Amino acid sequence: MSGEVSCVVLLSGGMDSSTLLAKAVKECDKVSALTLNYSQRHKVEIESARRVAKHFKVPHKVLNVSNINVLLKGSALTDSIDVPKGHYEDESMKLTVVPARNTILLSLALGWCISHGFNSVAYAAHAGDHAIYPDCRPEYIAAMQEVFNRAHYWPVKLWVPFMYMNKGEILKEGFKLKVPYEKTWTCYDPQEIVYTDGVEVVACGACGSCVERLEGFDQNSIVDPISYVVGTR
Ligand SMILES: [Zn+2]
């Protein structure tokens, strides 16, 4: 792209999209963040997105699209189905697939991007997602770029810089960018610890998302700053 590079970052509040936001702030001339609330069960993610956007002083829009949940049945992230435990490559992780989620989210981001005069949408799909999530694979991203080229009168870039990186590599880049990982949230199955003076929400340490996050920190020999259920790490 020539001229000003402006970017809408799809920010979930997880570590990948938070790292992507930091990268966009460093590399783009103008950045905004968009978080879509589609009634995911882990609403703590949305609070994390707010904290991360505030940290980087980026304009942030949280849009409530939870009514689409009526259409999106059958996922452990939106329905009352137990979140599977284990590694992302396990077959059971298919229960965390929200049907066509990223097509819906990217389409909304594209509309917002064009409407506000931005010229790219940043999306934090990465190599660890390819095994389970069809809408994170390179062939999907290439097809969506085609859609982004033709959906309006001018093309919009779909920027996916982590497409071939694993969690450990993303974290390595994030540490250089000083991402506040203590403000991010990754767990699909948050657990509440009740104290006499309040409740603390901690990560389960056992869902695919936690397992992959912890592996990434281990690869970098750094201790994850967020709290987990005792005994899971
Ligand atoms: Zn978890």
**What is the rounded distance in angstroms from the CA atom of residue 212 to the CA atom of residue 220?**
13
Is a pLDDT exceeding 90 seen at residue 158? yes
Higher pLDDT, 66 or 48: 48
Nearest alpha carbon to residue 105 among 7, 9, 207: 9
Is a pLDDT exceeding 70 seen at residue 143? yes
Q: How far is ligand 1, taken at its centre, from the CA of residue 192, in Å? A: 12
Q: What is the mean pLDDT of residues 3-21?
A: 95
Helices (H), 116-166: 138-150
Q: How far is ligand 1, taken at its centre, from the CA of residue 115, in Å? A: 36
Q: Which amino acid is at 20?
A: L
Is residue 47 classed as helix, strand or coil in its secondary structure?
A: helix
Q: How far is ligand 1, taken at its centre, from the CA of residue 53, in Å? A: 22
Q: How far is ligand 1, taken at its centre, from the CA of residue 66, in Å? A: 22
Is a pLDDT exceeding 60 seen at residue 129? yes
Residue count of the chain, please give it.
Answer: 233
| Mean pLDDT, rounded, of the chain | 87
